Amino acid sequence: MAEHTAQWIRVATSSDVPRGEAKAIRLGEGRSIALFNVDGRIYATDNQCPHMGYPLTRGAVRHGILTCDWHGRSFDLEGGGCFNYECDDLQTFPVDVRQDEIWIHLGDARYKRRDEHLRLLWQGLLSKDRWTISKAVALLLRGSVPEDEIVEMVLRHLGRHIASSEGTEGGGAVSRLINGLKVGRRYQDADRLMVLATAACSVAGGAAQRLDVVPLPGPVAWNDIDRWTRMFSHDGQSGRIERCLFTAYHLGHEDRILPLLYECTVEPHFLGFADNLLALGYLAEVIESFGWKRSPELVFNLGAKLLGRRRGEPERFRRDAVGLMTSMVPIIEASNPSTNGAVEYDEDAFSSALVSVNIQKS
Protein backbone atom coordinates (compact mmCIF):
# COMPACT_ATOMS: atom_id res chain seq x y z
CA MET A 1 0.00 0.00 0.00
CA ALA A 2 1.47 3.37 -1.03
CA GLU A 3 1.83 6.06 1.68
CA HIS A 4 1.78 9.74 0.63
CA THR A 5 3.83 12.50 2.22
CA ALA A 6 3.76 15.79 0.30
CA GLN A 7 4.95 14.78 -3.19
CA TRP A 8 6.87 11.73 -2.02
CA ILE A 9 5.17 8.34 -1.81
CA ARG A 10 6.23 5.34 0.25
CA VAL A 11 5.77 2.35 -2.03
CA ALA A 12 7.67 -0.59 -0.52
CA THR A 13 10.47 -1.76 1.75
CA SER A 14 13.90 -2.88 0.62
CA SER A 15 13.06 -6.48 1.45
CA ASP A 16 10.15 -6.32 -1.02
CA VAL A 17 12.59 -5.95 -3.93
CA PRO A 18 15.49 -8.41 -3.59
CA ARG A 19 18.71 -7.78 -5.49
CA GLY A 20 18.34 -8.59 -9.20
CA GLU A 21 14.55 -8.65 -9.12
CA ALA A 22 11.66 -6.33 -10.02
CA LYS A 23 8.33 -5.56 -8.38
CA ALA A 24 5.16 -3.85 -9.63
CA ILE A 25 3.41 -1.40 -7.29
CA ARG A 26 -0.18 -0.33 -7.98
CA LEU A 27 -0.99 3.29 -7.17
CA GLY A 28 -4.72 3.29 -7.93
CA GLU A 29 -6.77 4.11 -11.06
CA GLY A 30 -5.01 1.31 -12.90
CA ARG A 31 -1.55 2.89 -12.67
CA SER A 32 1.47 0.73 -11.93
CA ILE A 33 5.05 1.64 -10.99
CA ALA A 34 7.98 -0.73 -11.56
CA LEU A 35 10.77 -1.03 -9.00
CA PHE A 36 14.10 -2.60 -10.03
CA ASN A 37 16.93 -3.61 -7.70
CA VAL A 38 20.13 -3.49 -9.77
CA ASP A 39 23.26 -4.30 -7.76
CA GLY A 40 21.60 -2.95 -4.62
CA ARG A 41 20.36 0.29 -6.16
CA ILE A 42 16.61 0.88 -6.56
CA TYR A 43 15.22 2.37 -9.78
CA ALA A 44 11.58 3.38 -10.35
CA THR A 45 9.83 3.66 -13.71
CA ASP A 46 6.35 3.53 -15.14
CA ASN A 47 5.51 -0.17 -15.40
CA GLN A 48 3.84 0.11 -18.82
CA CYS A 49 6.02 0.19 -21.89
CA PRO A 50 5.41 3.43 -23.88
CA HIS A 51 5.32 1.35 -27.05
CA MET A 52 2.38 -0.97 -26.38
CA GLY A 53 1.74 -0.89 -22.63
CA TYR A 54 3.33 -4.24 -21.77
CA PRO A 55 4.43 -4.68 -18.11
CA LEU A 56 8.11 -3.80 -17.88
CA THR A 57 8.63 -5.89 -14.75
CA ARG A 58 8.56 -8.86 -17.14
CA GLY A 59 11.50 -7.39 -19.04
CA ALA A 60 15.26 -7.77 -18.58
CA VAL A 61 17.92 -5.36 -17.27
CA ARG A 62 21.47 -5.50 -18.61
CA HIS A 63 24.19 -2.83 -18.33
CA GLY A 64 21.63 -0.31 -17.07
CA ILE A 65 19.32 -0.89 -20.04
CA LEU A 66 15.76 -2.13 -19.53
CA THR A 67 14.39 -4.18 -22.44
CA CYS A 68 10.67 -4.85 -22.84
CA ASP A 69 9.91 -8.55 -23.19
CA TRP A 70 7.22 -8.07 -25.87
CA HIS A 71 8.66 -6.08 -28.78
CA GLY A 72 12.18 -5.51 -27.50
CA ARG A 73 12.06 -1.74 -26.96
CA SER A 74 15.05 -0.70 -24.84
CA PHE A 75 15.29 2.16 -22.32
CA ASP A 76 17.94 3.83 -20.19
CA LEU A 77 16.84 2.66 -16.75
CA GLU A 78 17.90 5.88 -15.04
CA GLY A 79 16.79 8.57 -17.49
CA GLY A 80 14.10 6.67 -19.40
CA GLY A 81 15.40 7.48 -22.87
CA CYS A 82 14.31 4.99 -25.55
CA PHE A 83 16.94 3.68 -27.96
CA ASN A 84 14.27 2.97 -30.62
CA TYR A 85 13.23 6.16 -32.42
CA GLU A 86 9.64 5.00 -33.06
CA CYS A 87 8.83 4.79 -29.34
CA ASP A 88 8.29 7.45 -26.66
CA ASP A 89 10.67 7.75 -23.72
CA LEU A 90 9.89 5.93 -20.48
CA GLN A 91 8.85 7.95 -17.44
CA THR A 92 11.21 7.49 -14.49
CA PHE A 93 10.94 8.71 -10.89
CA PRO A 94 13.45 9.86 -8.25
CA VAL A 95 13.98 7.27 -5.50
CA ASP A 96 14.92 7.81 -1.86
CA VAL A 97 15.57 4.88 0.50
CA ARG A 98 14.81 5.95 4.07
CA GLN A 99 15.62 3.45 6.81
CA ASP A 100 14.78 0.46 4.65
CA GLU A 101 11.68 2.19 3.19
CA ILE A 102 11.50 2.98 -0.54
CA TRP A 103 10.03 6.40 -1.40
CA ILE A 104 9.51 7.77 -4.90
CA HIS A 105 8.69 11.26 -6.15
CA LEU A 106 5.86 11.18 -8.71
CA GLY A 107 5.73 14.88 -9.55
CA ASP A 108 2.88 15.83 -11.89
CA ALA A 109 1.66 12.42 -13.02
CA ARG A 110 -1.56 13.60 -14.62
CA TYR A 111 -2.37 12.22 -18.07
CA LYS A 112 -2.58 15.12 -20.54
CA ARG A 113 -2.57 13.47 -23.98
CA ARG A 114 -6.04 11.90 -24.15
CA ASP A 115 -7.25 13.84 -27.20
CA GLU A 116 -3.94 13.34 -29.00
CA HIS A 117 -4.04 9.58 -28.49
CA LEU A 118 -7.72 9.35 -29.52
CA ARG A 119 -6.75 11.09 -32.78
CA LEU A 120 -3.92 8.59 -33.16
CA LEU A 121 -6.43 5.75 -32.79
CA TRP A 122 -8.71 7.31 -35.42
CA GLN A 123 -5.77 7.66 -37.83
CA GLY A 124 -4.80 4.04 -37.28
CA LEU A 125 -8.36 2.87 -37.94
CA LEU A 126 -8.51 4.86 -41.18
CA SER A 127 -5.14 3.60 -42.42
CA LYS A 128 -5.64 0.00 -41.19
CA ASP A 129 -2.24 0.28 -39.49
CA ARG A 130 -2.21 -2.38 -36.79
CA TRP A 131 0.85 -0.92 -35.09
CA THR A 132 -0.72 2.54 -34.78
CA ILE A 133 -4.03 1.13 -33.52
CA SER A 134 -2.33 -1.07 -30.92
CA LYS A 135 -0.09 1.73 -29.71
CA ALA A 136 -2.99 4.18 -29.39
CA VAL A 137 -5.08 1.66 -27.43
CA ALA A 138 -2.13 0.91 -25.15
CA LEU A 139 -1.44 4.59 -24.46
CA LEU A 140 -5.10 5.34 -23.76
CA LEU A 141 -5.42 2.44 -21.33
CA ARG A 142 -2.16 3.46 -19.71
CA GLY A 143 -3.63 6.93 -19.22
CA SER A 144 -6.63 5.40 -17.41
CA VAL A 145 -9.01 6.34 -20.22
CA PRO A 146 -12.11 4.14 -19.68
CA GLU A 147 -12.30 1.21 -22.08
CA ASP A 148 -15.84 2.28 -23.02
CA GLU A 149 -14.49 5.54 -24.47
CA ILE A 150 -11.99 3.64 -26.60
CA VAL A 151 -14.66 1.25 -27.85
CA GLU A 152 -16.97 4.21 -28.55
CA MET A 153 -14.34 5.66 -30.89
CA VAL A 154 -14.00 2.29 -32.67
CA LEU A 155 -17.78 2.00 -32.89
CA ARG A 156 -18.12 5.48 -34.37
CA HIS A 157 -15.47 4.66 -36.94
CA LEU A 158 -17.20 1.39 -37.81
CA GLY A 159 -20.50 3.20 -38.38
CA ARG A 160 -18.89 5.66 -40.79
CA HIS A 161 -16.81 2.92 -42.45
CA ILE A 162 -19.89 0.80 -43.19
CA ALA A 163 -21.90 3.85 -44.27
CA SER A 164 -19.28 4.98 -46.78
CA SER A 165 -17.39 1.85 -47.79
CA GLU A 166 -19.40 -1.32 -47.06
CA GLY A 167 -22.65 -2.93 -48.14
CA THR A 168 -24.67 -5.61 -46.41
CA GLU A 169 -21.44 -7.49 -45.68
CA GLY A 170 -20.83 -4.90 -42.93
CA GLY A 171 -22.63 -7.27 -40.58
CA GLY A 172 -19.49 -9.39 -40.51
CA ALA A 173 -17.47 -6.44 -39.18
CA VAL A 174 -20.02 -5.85 -36.42
CA SER A 175 -19.81 -9.51 -35.41
CA ARG A 176 -15.99 -9.36 -35.26
CA LEU A 177 -16.08 -6.33 -32.99
CA ILE A 178 -18.79 -7.63 -30.65
CA ASN A 179 -17.25 -11.10 -30.34
CA GLY A 180 -13.77 -9.62 -29.91
CA LEU A 181 -14.99 -7.48 -27.01
CA LYS A 182 -16.62 -10.53 -25.42
CA VAL A 183 -13.35 -12.45 -25.61
CA GLY A 184 -11.44 -9.46 -24.22
CA ARG A 185 -13.57 -9.39 -21.08
CA ARG A 186 -12.16 -12.79 -20.16
CA TYR A 187 -8.63 -11.39 -19.85
CA GLN A 188 -6.77 -8.74 -17.89
CA ASP A 189 -3.87 -6.33 -18.38
CA ALA A 190 -1.61 -7.04 -21.37
CA ASP A 191 -3.68 -9.96 -22.63
CA ARG A 192 -6.81 -7.83 -22.62
CA LEU A 193 -4.94 -5.08 -24.46
CA MET A 194 -3.97 -7.47 -27.24
CA VAL A 195 -7.54 -8.71 -27.69
CA LEU A 196 -8.98 -5.18 -27.69
CA ALA A 197 -6.42 -3.99 -30.24
CA THR A 198 -7.12 -7.03 -32.43
CA ALA A 199 -10.87 -6.35 -32.31
CA ALA A 200 -10.26 -2.73 -33.33
CA CYS A 201 -7.96 -3.79 -36.18
CA SER A 202 -10.61 -6.16 -37.51
CA VAL A 203 -12.97 -3.26 -38.30
CA ALA A 204 -10.40 -0.77 -39.63
CA GLY A 205 -10.77 0.75 -43.08
CA GLY A 206 -11.70 3.86 -45.02
CA ALA A 207 -14.39 6.15 -43.64
CA ALA A 208 -15.25 8.97 -46.02
CA GLN A 209 -17.27 12.06 -45.17
CA ARG A 210 -20.97 11.89 -46.02
CA LEU A 211 -23.94 14.22 -45.80
CA ASP A 212 -25.67 14.20 -42.45
CA VAL A 213 -28.96 12.34 -42.34
CA VAL A 214 -31.67 14.61 -40.95
CA PRO A 215 -35.21 13.78 -39.79
CA LEU A 216 -38.13 14.12 -42.18
CA PRO A 217 -40.06 17.37 -41.71
CA GLY A 218 -43.24 16.93 -39.71
CA PRO A 219 -45.85 16.02 -39.11
CA VAL A 220 -44.78 12.37 -39.31
CA ALA A 221 -46.47 9.64 -37.27
CA TRP A 222 -45.08 6.22 -36.36
CA ASN A 223 -47.70 4.52 -38.54
CA ASP A 224 -46.32 6.43 -41.54
CA ILE A 225 -42.75 5.37 -40.77
CA ASP A 226 -43.83 1.77 -40.28
CA ARG A 227 -45.72 1.68 -43.59
CA TRP A 228 -43.00 3.46 -45.59
CA THR A 229 -40.20 1.29 -44.19
CA ARG A 230 -42.01 -1.93 -45.14
CA MET A 231 -42.72 -0.59 -48.63
CA PHE A 232 -39.12 0.57 -49.20
CA SER A 233 -37.85 -2.78 -47.90
CA HIS A 234 -40.03 -4.65 -50.39
CA ASP A 235 -38.83 -2.37 -53.20
CA GLY A 236 -35.13 -2.55 -52.24
CA GLN A 237 -34.65 1.17 -51.46
CA SER A 238 -32.20 1.24 -48.56
CA GLY A 239 -31.39 4.96 -48.73
CA ARG A 240 -34.99 5.88 -48.04
CA ILE A 241 -35.20 3.42 -45.16
CA GLU A 242 -32.26 5.04 -43.37
CA ARG A 243 -34.00 8.41 -43.19
CA CYS A 244 -37.20 6.77 -41.96
CA LEU A 245 -35.29 5.08 -39.13
CA PHE A 246 -33.46 8.30 -38.29
CA THR A 247 -36.79 10.13 -38.09
CA ALA A 248 -38.27 7.45 -35.83
CA TYR A 249 -35.33 7.82 -33.45
CA HIS A 250 -35.69 11.60 -33.22
CA LEU A 251 -39.42 11.24 -32.59
CA GLY A 252 -38.70 9.02 -29.58
CA HIS A 253 -39.71 5.70 -31.14
CA GLU A 254 -36.38 3.93 -30.59
CA ASP A 255 -38.07 1.03 -28.77
CA ARG A 256 -40.04 0.24 -31.92
CA ILE A 257 -37.15 0.33 -34.37
CA LEU A 258 -35.58 -3.09 -33.76
CA PRO A 259 -38.92 -4.95 -33.80
CA LEU A 260 -39.70 -3.28 -37.13
CA LEU A 261 -36.32 -4.33 -38.55
CA TYR A 262 -36.88 -7.92 -37.48
CA GLU A 263 -40.40 -8.01 -38.89
CA CYS A 264 -39.19 -6.76 -42.27
CA THR A 265 -36.29 -9.21 -42.29
CA VAL A 266 -38.49 -12.29 -41.88
CA GLU A 267 -40.80 -11.39 -44.76
CA PRO A 268 -41.13 -14.25 -47.29
CA HIS A 269 -39.19 -12.36 -49.98
CA PHE A 270 -36.09 -12.51 -47.73
CA LEU A 271 -36.14 -16.31 -47.63
CA GLY A 272 -32.55 -17.44 -48.17
CA PHE A 273 -30.95 -14.34 -46.62
CA ALA A 274 -30.24 -15.81 -43.19
CA ASP A 275 -27.30 -13.45 -42.64
CA ASN A 276 -29.83 -10.62 -42.20
CA LEU A 277 -31.00 -12.09 -38.91
CA LEU A 278 -27.45 -12.66 -37.68
CA ALA A 279 -26.44 -9.08 -38.49
CA LEU A 280 -29.53 -7.67 -36.79
CA GLY A 281 -28.73 -9.77 -33.74
CA TYR A 282 -25.30 -8.15 -33.49
CA LEU A 283 -26.80 -4.68 -33.99
CA ALA A 284 -29.16 -5.44 -31.12
CA GLU A 285 -26.13 -6.31 -28.96
CA VAL A 286 -24.50 -3.01 -29.94
CA ILE A 287 -27.58 -1.11 -28.76
CA GLU A 288 -27.80 -3.15 -25.56
CA SER A 289 -24.12 -2.62 -24.74
CA PHE A 290 -23.58 0.99 -25.82
CA GLY A 291 -27.00 2.59 -26.15
CA TRP A 292 -28.63 4.46 -29.01
CA LYS A 293 -26.64 7.68 -28.57
CA ARG A 294 -23.35 5.93 -29.36
CA SER A 295 -24.50 3.83 -32.29
CA PRO A 296 -27.19 5.53 -34.44
CA GLU A 297 -25.26 5.76 -37.72
CA LEU A 298 -24.12 2.14 -37.52
CA VAL A 299 -27.57 0.75 -36.68
CA PHE A 300 -29.57 2.91 -39.09
CA ASN A 301 -27.23 2.60 -42.07
CA LEU A 302 -26.51 -1.11 -41.84
CA GLY A 303 -30.10 -1.86 -40.82
CA ALA A 304 -31.35 0.03 -43.88
CA LYS A 305 -28.92 -1.81 -46.15
CA LEU A 306 -30.06 -5.17 -44.82
CA LEU A 307 -33.75 -4.33 -45.24
CA GLY A 308 -33.28 -2.67 -48.60
CA ARG A 309 -30.88 -5.14 -50.17
CA ARG A 310 -31.76 -5.92 -53.75
CA ARG A 311 -32.76 -9.46 -54.55
CA GLY A 312 -32.23 -11.10 -57.90
CA GLU A 313 -34.82 -13.33 -59.55
CA PRO A 314 -34.98 -16.38 -57.24
CA GLU A 315 -34.54 -19.91 -58.54
CA ARG A 316 -37.60 -22.10 -59.03
CA PHE A 317 -37.32 -23.97 -55.73
CA ARG A 318 -36.94 -20.68 -53.83
CA ARG A 319 -39.94 -19.11 -55.57
CA ASP A 320 -41.99 -22.14 -54.56
CA ALA A 321 -40.74 -21.81 -50.98
CA VAL A 322 -41.58 -18.10 -50.89
CA GLY A 323 -45.06 -18.85 -52.21
CA LEU A 324 -45.60 -21.58 -49.63
CA MET A 325 -44.35 -19.40 -46.81
CA THR A 326 -46.57 -16.53 -47.95
CA SER A 327 -49.63 -18.78 -47.95
CA MET A 328 -48.85 -19.88 -44.39
CA VAL A 329 -48.61 -16.37 -42.92
CA PRO A 330 -52.38 -16.00 -42.24
CA ILE A 331 -52.44 -19.40 -40.52
CA ILE A 332 -49.47 -18.49 -38.31
CA GLU A 333 -50.97 -15.13 -37.41
CA ALA A 334 -54.36 -16.70 -36.64
CA SER A 335 -52.75 -19.22 -34.30
CA ASN A 336 -51.29 -16.35 -32.23
CA PRO A 337 -48.27 -18.39 -31.05
CA SER A 338 -47.25 -15.74 -28.52
CA THR A 339 -50.30 -16.56 -26.37
CA ASN A 340 -50.49 -20.30 -26.89
CA GLY A 341 -49.23 -22.54 -24.14
CA ALA A 342 -46.18 -24.75 -24.49
CA VAL A 343 -46.64 -27.78 -26.72
CA GLU A 344 -44.76 -30.98 -25.96
CA TYR A 345 -42.04 -31.61 -28.52
CA ASP A 346 -42.74 -34.73 -30.59
CA GLU A 347 -39.37 -35.78 -31.96
CA ASP A 348 -40.78 -38.80 -33.80
CA ALA A 349 -43.34 -36.67 -35.64
CA PHE A 350 -40.68 -34.13 -36.53
CA SER A 351 -38.32 -36.81 -37.88
CA SER A 352 -41.13 -38.41 -39.85
CA ALA A 353 -42.03 -35.10 -41.44
CA LEU A 354 -38.42 -34.54 -42.47
CA VAL A 355 -37.85 -37.93 -44.14
CA SER A 356 -41.30 -38.55 -45.60
CA VAL A 357 -41.01 -35.93 -48.33
CA ASN A 358 -40.36 -36.95 -51.94
CA ILE A 359 -36.86 -35.54 -52.30
CA GLN A 360 -36.74 -35.82 -56.10
CA LYS A 361 -40.06 -34.03 -56.48
CA SER A 362 -39.18 -31.34 -53.96
Model confidence pLDDT, tens digit, residues 137-176: 988 887 888 899 999 999 999 999 998 888 888 899 999 9
The amino acid that residue 290 corresponds to is F
CA pair distance 219, 155, nearest whole angstrom: 32
The answer on pLDDT for 2 being more than 60 is: no
CA pair distance 244, 231, nearest whole angstrom: 11
In the CATH scheme, what is the homologous superfamily, with its name and number, of domain 3-105?
Answer: Rieske [2Fe-2S] iron-sulphur domain (2.102.10.10)
CA pair distance 362, 360, nearest whole angstrom: 6
CA pair distance 212, 133, nearest whole angstrom: 27
3-class secondary structure, 228: helix
Cross-strand partners of 36:
22, 43
> What is the structure's pLDDT at 139?
83
Domain borders along the chain are 3-105, 114-201, 222-307
Instruction: For residues 283-300, give the mean pLDDT.
Output: 92
Cross-strand partners of 44:
35, 93
CA pair distance 330, 325, nearest whole angstrom: 10
CB 152 within 8 A of CB 140: no
The answer on pLDDT for 202 being more than 90 is: yes
DSSP count for the chain of H helices, then E strands: 12, 11
> What is the structure's pLDDT at 3?
56
More confident residue, 55 or 50: 55
More confident residue, 208 or 341: 208
The answer on pLDDT for 68 being more than 60 is: yes
> What is the structure's pLDDT at 27?
80
CB 260 within 8 A of CB 205: no
> What is the structure's pLDDT at 73?
93
> What is the structure's pLDDT at 141?
86
CB 229 within 8 A of CB 307: yes
> What is the structure's pLDDT at 345?
77
pTM over 0.75: no
> What is the structure's pLDDT at 108?
66
> What is the structure's pLDDT at 264?
93
CB 93 within 8 A of CB 45: yes
Model confidence pLDDT, tens digit, residues 72-131: 999 999 999 999 877 788 989 999 999 889 999 987 666 677 888 899 899 999 999 998
Residue 191: phi and psi, rounded to 5, are -65, -40
